[in-house]
């Protein structure tokens, strides 16, 4: 065959009047003029960047593809005249751009006998009013048609609600036939909310997730959503260490007995409307009812109350996280206790805690102070318990100081009375809101600190009280307080006495400083204290 080929070439040369030496060189593979490579054939499904929607799916020519939210899995509900506006997309062999997976595409047989390509079970369509590559005129039409994207987290579906009981329901959960719009995830699983939940608060799920199989929390990483939805309506909350998606403040759930895509059986379980769907008509979830509220009182400013507006109180004889109001005292001053503390803006739930009382009951505390009611308050806003016996005070979050009554127990371990003679009995004195005792120094003069060194080298023994005075119990007169400059730092004064802490007071209520270095050198201060003179 090799010789025959050589003979053929020779005949061609003779016929055209040229010799073998005049023949053009054959194309070179390693040099000479390169051959132009043809453009690669575009994939049947492309992923292109759109200025409004990000990455969208198109056909090979760049014409946008769409999803129909009324479709069920692998079934098109766009029939007959619908197809004149929304022609089906079909390619027998699917090739895809990077970022797409051919395994997500399939072919369905439509009820009209035609075939259609699907993406993750969603049939794909064109829109007749898209005339040019990149047009997305079909997005949002009737709030049920959306440009096809591979990264939707949610879809906005429209279908008949069919409850767990087999009955058809309308959006108001009365029985009836008709489509309702609602949120589903991209796999078509219906999302629900619970009517007993509150804004950003899941009141259903058990701490051990033992009921999560019935109503699983929706743990969805929100990426892209259809244009009809507002991304600002979504959020997340922490539920015992897991993250739950919220919509308009409502925590979102699945129903464990929804089996097929499009199922919405949960709308009637256990009764219609207990677990409603969520859609654009959904109202913002109600804020949780605060168990501790802030109310404005004309005499006291911001005071703390319970959820019904009944005033709460501090007992100045209490020590930190320990109630001294026991037995008959409770007839007049019932304890306040709430298992779950929810607070108004302006309060921090971390400041509240629960203590076990000596009588076996529980009590709520604020910054360590047990909280009480007063039986003499009969209506919301009453503050009749304030200053009773000068030991009960309306509970406020912004007290700078408190007025307490307790046994004085010196650094030497001896019990003292208010005149610094040994003895048993309670004495009134000032503390800060954290229960740290405040002292004066007998060698100070009016508004003059004669103790602190310029370099503050002795400040650890008797630290100056650098307190910004805000609110004080009603027994005090604000005019008795002032402030002085101590080597560039500000020290609070009371009746001209510069105020100090004792560095060796450790626990709330400690008053060891009254005997250090000897009784009365560093006295406590109370309303009976005489003004300091020059």
> pLDDT by residue (tens digit) across 281-295?
999 999 878 899 999
- Rounded Cα distance between 393 and 380, Å, is 17
Q: Two tokens at 468? A: 């910004």
CB within 8 A of 319, min separation 6: which ones? Answer: 406, 435, 507, 508, 509
The answer to whether residue 269 is domain-embedded is yes
Position 37 scores a pLDDT of 61
- Rounded Cα distance between 232 and 194, Å, is 20
Token pair 């979830």 is at which residue? 285
- Rounded Cα distance between 71 and 78, Å, is 8
Reported in sequence order, the residue ranges of 254-300 that DSSP labels E, i.e. its strands, are 292-297
Position 32 scores a pLDDT of 53
Pick left, alpha or beta for residue 17 (phi over 0 → left; psi -120 to 50 → alpha; otherwise beta). Answer: left
Same domain as 386, residue 411 = no
**pLDDT by residue, tens only, the chain of 534 residues:** 344 444 333 333 333 344 444 444 544 444 555 556 666 778 999 999 999 899 999 999 999 999 998 887 889 999 999 999 999 999 999 999 999 999 999 999 999 999 999 999 899 999 999 999 999 999 999 888 999 999 899 988 888 999 999 999 999 999 999 989 999 998 889 999 999 999 999 999 999 999 999 999 999 999 889 988 999 999 999 999 999 999 999 999 999 999 988 899 999 999 999 999 999 999 999 987 889 999 999 989 999 999 999 999 999 888 788 999 999 999 999 999 998 898 988 999 999 999 999 999 999 999 989 999 999 999 999 999 999 998 899 999 989 999 988 899 999 999 999 999 999 999 999 999 888 999 999 999 999 999 999 999 999 999 999 999 988 998 899 999 999 999 999 999 999 999 999 999 998 889 999 999 999 999 999 999 999 988
The answer to whether residue 105 is domain-embedded is yes
Q: Two tokens at 431? A: 């503390």
CA angle, corner 517, sides to 515 and 518, nearest 5?
Answer: 50
Q: What share of the chain is helix, strand, coil (3-state, %, to 5)?
A: 10, 30, 60
The answer to whether residue 8 is domain-embedded is no
Q: Two tokens at 409? A: 């127990």
Token pair 């009820």 is at which residue? 111
Position 33 scores a pLDDT of 58
The answer to whether residue 174 is domain-embedded is yes
Same domain as 530, residue 406 = yes
The domain boundary residue, chosen from 349, 375, 397: 397
Same domain as 284, residue 299 = no
Same domain as 370, residue 454 = no
Give whole-number Cα distances, 422 to 409, 416, 418, 520, 529, in Å.
9, 4, 9, 12, 20
The domain boundary residue, chosen from 85, 118, 151: 151
Looking at the structure of the chain, the number of domains it has is 4
pLDDT, one tens digit per residue, over 270-281 is: 999 999 999 999
Same domain as 382, residue 335 = yes
Same domain as 317, residue 273 = no
Position 208 scores a pLDDT of 96
Same domain as 486, residue 404 = yes
The domain boundary residue, chosen from 118, 135, 151: 151
What distance, in Å, lies between the first and last C-alpha atoms of the chain? 130
- Rounded Cα distance between 409 and 424, Å, is 9
Give whole-number Cα distances, 217 to 96, 204, 277, 310, 429, in Å.
34, 10, 14, 36, 53
The answer to whether residue 188 is domain-embedded is yes
The answer to whether residue 517 is domain-embedded is yes
Burial 170-181 (b: 16+ CB within 10 A, else e): ebebeeeeeebb
Same domain as 447, residue 389 = no
- Rounded Cα distance between 220 and 154, Å, is 9
Same domain as 306, residue 222 = no
Q: Is 48 exposed, middle or buried (0-12, 13-18, 19+ CB in 10 A)?
A: middle
* Domain interval for residue 497: 399-534
The answer to whether residue 15 is domain-embedded is no
* Torsions phi, psi for 427 (to 5 deg): -125, 140
Same domain as 426, residue 309 = no
The answer to whether residue 24 is domain-embedded is no
Same domain as 373, residue 305 = yes
Same domain as 380, residue 420 = no
């Amino acid at each position: 065959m090799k010789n025959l080929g050589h003979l053929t070439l020779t005949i061609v040369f003779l016929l055209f009047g040229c010799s073998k030496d005049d023949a053009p060189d054959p194309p070179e593979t390693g040099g000479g003029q390169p051959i132009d490579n043809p453009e690669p054939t575009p994939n049947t499904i492309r992923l292109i960047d759109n200025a409004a929607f990000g990455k969208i799916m198109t056909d090979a020519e760049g014409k946008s593809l769409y999803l129909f939210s009324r479709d069920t899995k692998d079934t098109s509900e766009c029939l007959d005249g619908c197809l004149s506006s929304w022609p089906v997309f079909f390619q027998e062999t699917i090739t895809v751009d990077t970022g797409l997976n051919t395994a997500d595409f399939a072919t369905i047989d439509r009820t009209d006998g035609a075939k259609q390509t699907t993406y993750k079970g969603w049939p794909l369509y064109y829109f007749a009013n898209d005339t040019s590559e990149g047009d997305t005129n079909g997005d949002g039409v009737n709030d049920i048609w959306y440009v096809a994207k591979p990264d939707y987290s949610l879809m906005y579906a429209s279908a008949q609600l069919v409850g767990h009981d087999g009955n058809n329901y309308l959006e108001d959960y009365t029985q009836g036939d008709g489509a309702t719009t609602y949120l589903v995830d991209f796999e078509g699983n219906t999302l629900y909310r619970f009517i007993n939940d509150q804004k950003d608060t899941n009141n259903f799920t058990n701490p051990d997730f033992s009921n999560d199989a019935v109503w699983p929390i929706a743990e969805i990483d929100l990426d892209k959503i259809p244009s009809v939805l507002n991304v600002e309506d979504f959020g997340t909350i922490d539920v015992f260490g897991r993250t739950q998606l919220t919509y308009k403040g409502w925590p979102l759930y699945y129903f464990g007995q929804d089996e097929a895509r499009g199922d919405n059986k949960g709308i009637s379980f256990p009764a219609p409307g207990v677990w409603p769907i969520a859609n654009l008509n959904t109202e913002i979830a109600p804020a949780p009812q605060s168990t501790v509220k802030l109310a404005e009182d004309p005499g006291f400013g911001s005071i703390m109350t319970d959820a019904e507006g009944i005033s709460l109180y501090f007992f100045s004889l209490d020590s930190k996280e320990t109630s001294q109001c026991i037995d008959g005292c409770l007839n007049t001053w019932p304890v306040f206790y709430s298992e779950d503390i929810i607070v108004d803006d302006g309060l921090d739930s971390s400041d509240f805690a629960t203590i076990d009382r000596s009588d076996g009951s529980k009590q709520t505390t604020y910054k360590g102070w047990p909280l009480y009611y007063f039986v003499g308050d009969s209506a919301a806003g009453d503050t009749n318990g304030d200053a009773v016996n000068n030991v009960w005070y309306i509970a406020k979050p912004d007290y700078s100081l408190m007025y307490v009554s307790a046994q004085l127990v010196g650094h030497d371990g001896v019990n003292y009375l208010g005149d610094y003679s040994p003895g048993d009995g309670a004495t009134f004195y000032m503390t800060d809101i954290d229960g740290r005792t405040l002292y004066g120094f007998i060698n100070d003069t009016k508004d003059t600190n004669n103790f602190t060194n310029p370099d503050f080298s002795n400040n650890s023994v008797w630290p100056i009280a650098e307190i910004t005075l805000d609110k004080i119990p009603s027994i005090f007169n604000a005019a008795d307080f002032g402030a002085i400059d101590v080597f560039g730092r500000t020290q609070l004064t009371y009746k001209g006495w510069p105020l100090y802490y004792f560095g060796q007071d450790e626990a709330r209520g400690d008053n060891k400083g009254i005997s250090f270095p000897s009784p009365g050198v560093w006295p406590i201060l109370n309303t009976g204290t005489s003004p300091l003179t020059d």
